[in-house]
Amino acid sequence: EIAENVCREQAVGRELCPELFLLGAQKCGSTAVFRALTENFKLDLTLPVGIPLVKEPQFFNYFYDRGWSWYIGAYGLRKSTDQVGIDASADYTAFAQAPVRIQAGMNAERLRFIMIMRDPVQRAYSWYTHVHAFGMFYENYREAYLCFDYKFSLMSKYATEAIAKCMLAAGSPPEVFPACYHTARSQAYPSYHDHHVYIEETGMTTAYFDIIAYHFTSGLYGYILSHWFKFFRPEQFCFLVYENMVENPLSELAYLKPCIEHFGRQINLETRSVELPKANVQVCKNCAYYEQLSEESLKTVGATLHRELYLDSNELVRRSLRELYNRTDVKLWEIDYGSGYQLPGSVGEDLRLGA
Ligand SMILES: Nc1ncnc2c1ncn2[C@@H]1O[C@H](COP(=O)(O)OS(=O)(=O)O)[C@@H](OP(=O)(O)O)[C@H]1O
């Protein structure tokens, strides 16, 4: 039996514990980043062996009850001092208890976290597409979707109402995510799971509403960050912005340097040009009941989501990255959502600083 505190040592011959975490949210391009690290930069990172989703052990969210032996055992023993174990469960960011458990059980000071962010609207729509492509055989997903006639636009509308109400009741930024993430059962707000609301457009009442909320709460990056910052120091994080990465992979991936060099390893950014590997590109044209939104329709839905759900969170991201990392190049996701969109003063300021 492996003891819970075994990860506090780094001795060769003892258990190698994962120390590099590749976090999302999901659908932010984490598979492409993983491939860039291992294929383009030829970084030898140790993955767990013998557990179902190798790259994503999902221990600190879904499989915690399988125990530490299951998780740590899968990484084997340390062969050298600079060996690095990686856990690329992007989804840890969607669970408030994940950083609590990581801090409690791992060698917290040693850890580094790569966190990727993407326009939360595009991300949510990508997850919706993913569910149509891969998740509709789960009965609870089908039932949750059925109430909305399987439509992303309807889900957005009702999820925005519920989540915005929760955020209003939640208090200061660090409190928002634990109170309002998709499986939250806070005093401030009853759980989404038991949130039964009548959908006017379909004449049905919601079931498994937490499944719907998940699409949208996973994009509240600003609040996710202020939650993780309760457990780890800013120096332990390296941020990637999906849109920047697509536009200029090399200069965006350069932000990973401190998180890699921390382990005595190098990524050579000077000599090679890097193309971001294409991974998990989804096509759902023939998915049954799939609401394929035109660019224009997604902009209409997205403008409301940004205005009513993401605005403060997005601002928090930009402010955190500017103040803590001196970064002013975080994409203004809201700006793509149509003319007439009123930027608040502080966002306008960010825009000027970023220009
Ligand atoms: N090279 C490159 N350039 C641009 N976009 C890319 C690239 N590689 C992956 N992707 C897009 O990333 C989305 C998948 O993200 P993830 O790998 O994090 O998905 S998952 O959470 O692991 O399922 C998925 O987004 P959507 O296409 O919007 O669904 C991928 O298309």
CB 18 within 8 A of CB 56: no
Q: Which mutation among 37, 123, 134, 280 tests ligand 1's pocket best, with the greatest number of atoms within 8 A of CB?
A: 280
With a 6 A CB cut-off, is 279 part of the ligand 1 pocket? Answer: yes
With a 6 A CB cut-off, is 129 part of the ligand 1 pocket? Answer: yes
pLDDT at 339: 44
Task: Report how far ligand 1's centroid is from the alpha carbon of 33 (Å).
Answer: 10
> Can you give the residue ranges of every domain in the chain?
6-118+231-261, 120-222+280-329
pLDDT at 271: 60
pLDDT at 342: 54
Condensed to tens digits (0 to 9), the pLDDT of residues 252-268 reads 999 999 999 999 999 88
Residue nearest to atom 24 of ligand 1 (CA): 281
114, containing H or E segment: strand 112-117
Residues 27, 41: Cα–Cα separation, whole Å: 22
Task: Report how far ligand 1's centroid is from the alpha carbon of 191 (Å).
Answer: 30
Mean per-residue pLDDT, 89-101 = 97
With a 6 A CB cut-off, is 31 part of the ligand 1 pocket? Answer: yes
Residue 354 has pLDDT above 70, yes or no: no
Closest atom of ligand 1 to 26 CA is 21
Residue nearest to atom 19 of ligand 1 (CA): 27
Show the tokens assigned to 29.
């391009």
Residue nearest to atom 30 of ligand 1 (CA): 281
Task: Report how far ligand 1's centroid is from the alpha carbon of 196 (Å).
Answer: 32
With a 6 A CB cut-off, is 249 part of the ligand 1 pocket? Answer: no
Residues 238, 329: Cα–Cα separation, whole Å: 14
Please tell me which residue, 207 or 273, carries the higher pLDDT value.
Answer: 207
User: Counting Cβ atoms within 10 Å, is residue 221 exposed (0-12), middle (13-18) or buried (19+)?
Assistant: buried
Q: How big is the CA angle at 152 (ends 150 and 158), to the nearest 5 degrees?
A: 100
Residues 118, 121: Cα–Cα separation, whole Å: 8
Mean per-residue pLDDT, 159-177 = 95
With a 6 A CB cut-off, is 40 part of the ligand 1 pocket? Answer: no
User: Which residues does 234 contact at the CB level (< 8 Å), separation at least 6?
Assistant: 324, 325
Nearest alpha carbon to residue 124 among 196, 205, 27: 27
Mean per-residue pLDDT, 161-184 = 95
Architecture of the domain whose range is 6-118+231-261:
3-Layer(aba) Sandwich (3.40)
With a 6 A CB cut-off, is 281 part of the ligand 1 pocket? Answer: yes
Task: Report how far ligand 1's centroid is from the alpha carbon of 88 (Å).
Answer: 14
pLDDT at 243: 96
Task: Report how far ligand 1's centroid is from the alpha carbon of 223 (Å).
Answer: 23
CB 290 within 8 A of CB 134: no
